[in-house]
Amino acid sequence: MKDDGSRVATGSQRRRSAPRARPNVADVARRSGVSVATVSRAFNAPGIVSDDVRERVLKAASDLGYAPNAAAKALRLQRTHIIGAIVPTLNYAIFASMLNAFQARLAKSGHMLFLATTGFDNRALLEPARQLVERGAEALLVVGRIDDPGLTAYLAERRIPVVTTYSYLAGNQIPSIGFDNDAASRELIGYLLRLGHRRLAMITASTQGNDRQEARVRAFREALADAGIRGKPVILERTHAIAEGASALAEIHERHPEVTAIVCNSDVLAIGALAEAKRLGLAVPGDISITGHDDQEFAGLTEPALTTIAVPAEEMGVRAAEALLDATRDGHRQGPKGAELPTRLVIRGSTGKPRKKS
């Protein structure tokens, strides 16, 4: 806890050597011959200060390179203008893109972003949330449904506005800005059924604490049932990686050769499946149709290009920022508002009619 001595200094004999790194209101006040109160007002309520005094203060401040101390302001105002985000990872383009838009929107309103990354399991959200809040976050963006009642309680107790993204969850206690995972997957599956597919399989990322994957799996089961397709649906749960998509496809090929279409719950899994299909000499979509989820940039570039579901990543980021900014504004303390955003089924070359029965 030792320092070079010039920064922290309690008592009266502070800063004897080098000039302090950052000038404060007192320095500006001295230089412009007014009180610190006036300096503060010149910045925060300029209309209330006489023109010449204001100019003098501003000039002095700029000469000195003065900028208000954020910690002091935060302490005094009980307002940090910091918003936190908890995302599974930045190594997934859709999250990165959402966050990019989120932070840009925050910056536009003079807010800072605190970022935490956790894995994909939303049951481990309390700790990072607490960290963020204790360090000053006044509101929180989270990806996916909050399952932990402890977290909900913690946030409610401190009146921290939260917005859940990715999944739009109607009627949930916590407002969500996202899309309907169930409907989006059903649309895709409906399209495959209409093409004539009867033997479908799903490759999903872990559903543990991941409501988005859960919803897609449920949609799959229900859509098949609704279509009168009997038998245990083929569903393989893997971790979220290209290689896992590949090995899952290999397993389906070996153990469920009747399958003609594979619904992957992320483009990453689909890419892996696609590569493995080629390796095995399967024609896509001739022998097997493959679909993805999210419409990452590379989805349009594979061979064949991937049929997938485009997801409003940027818009979720912007809307979440605005909802949180709003909920955090002084006076307006009634919680952020959710919003359901549309997805889009993007049909490309990786899907087609099922092969003739062999």
Partner DNA sequence: CTGAAAGCGCTTACAG
Buried b vs exposed e over 197-210: b needs ≥16 C-beta within 10 Å?
Answer: bbbbbbbbbbbebb
Query: Choosing among DNA, its own copies, none, which partner's interface includes residue 130 (Cβ < 5 to 8 Å by kind)?
Result: its own copies
Encoded amino acid at 160, one letter: I
Closest approach, Cβ 96 to DNA, in A, equals 34
Q: What is the dihedral of CA 64, 68, 69, 74, to 10 degrees?
A: 170
Closest approach, Cβ 110 to DNA, in A, equals 13
Are the C-beta atoms of 252 and 222 separated by less than 8 Å? no
Complex with DNA: residue 33 or 286, whichever CB lies closer: 33
**Angle at which helices 25-32 and 51-64 cross, to 10°:** 120
Complex with its own copies: residue 8 or 26, whichever CB lies closer: 8
Query: Choosing among its own copies, DNA, none, which partner's interface includes residue 302 (Cβ < 5 to 8 Å by kind)?
Result: its own copies
- Pick the closest to residue 158 from 30, 294, 16, 328 (CA basis): 328
Complex with its own copies: residue 334 or 358, whichever CB lies closer: 334
Which spans of this chain sit near its own copies (rule: CB under 8 A)?
1-4, 7-8, 21-22, 65, 67-72, 74-75, 77-78, 80, 89-91, 93, 96-97, 99-100, 103-104, 107, 112-117, 130-131, 134-136, 157-159, 242, 271, 275, 297-298, 301-303, 330-331, 333
Encoded amino acid at 317, one letter: G
Complex with its own copies: residue 278 or 353, whichever CB lies closer: 278
Query: Choosing among DNA, its own copies, none, which partner's interface includes residue 316 (Cβ < 5 to 8 Å by kind)?
Result: none
Complex with DNA: residue 36 or 305, whichever CB lies closer: 36
Closest approach, Cβ 231 to DNA, in A, equals 60
Query: Choosing among DNA, its own copies, none, which partner's interface includes residue 153 (Cβ < 5 to 8 Å by kind)?
Result: none
Closest approach, Cβ 265 to DNA, in A, equals 44
Query: Choosing among its own copies, DNA, none, which partner's interface includes residue 38 (Cβ < 5 to 8 Å by kind)?
Result: DNA
Are the C-beta atoms of 275 and 288 separated by less than 8 Å? no
Complex with its own copies: residue 115 or 124, whichever CB lies closer: 115
> DSSP per residue over 84-141, as a string?
EEEES-SSSHHHHHHHHHHHHHHHHTT-EEEEEE--S-GGG-HHHHHHHHHTT-SSEE
Closest approach, Cβ 162 to DNA, in A, equals 22
Complex with its own copies: residue 117 or 247, whichever CB lies closer: 117
Closest approach, Cβ 224 to its own copies, in A, equals 30
What is the enclosing helix (H) or strand (E) of 213? Answer: helix 211-226
What one-character DSSP code corresponds to residue 356? P
Complex with its own copies: residue 67 or 225, whichever CB lies closer: 67
Query: Choosing among its own copies, DNA, none, which partner's interface includes residue 2 (Cβ < 5 to 8 Å by kind)?
Result: its own copies
Which spans of this chain sit near DNA (rule: CB under 7 A)?
1, 8-12, 14, 20, 22, 24-26, 33-41, 43-45, 47-50, 53-54, 66-69, 72-73, 75-78
> DSSP per residue over 288-315, as a string?
-EEE-SB--GGGGTSSSPPBEEE--HHH
Are the C-beta atoms of 118 and 140 separated by less than 8 Å? no
> 163 in helix, strand or coil?
strand
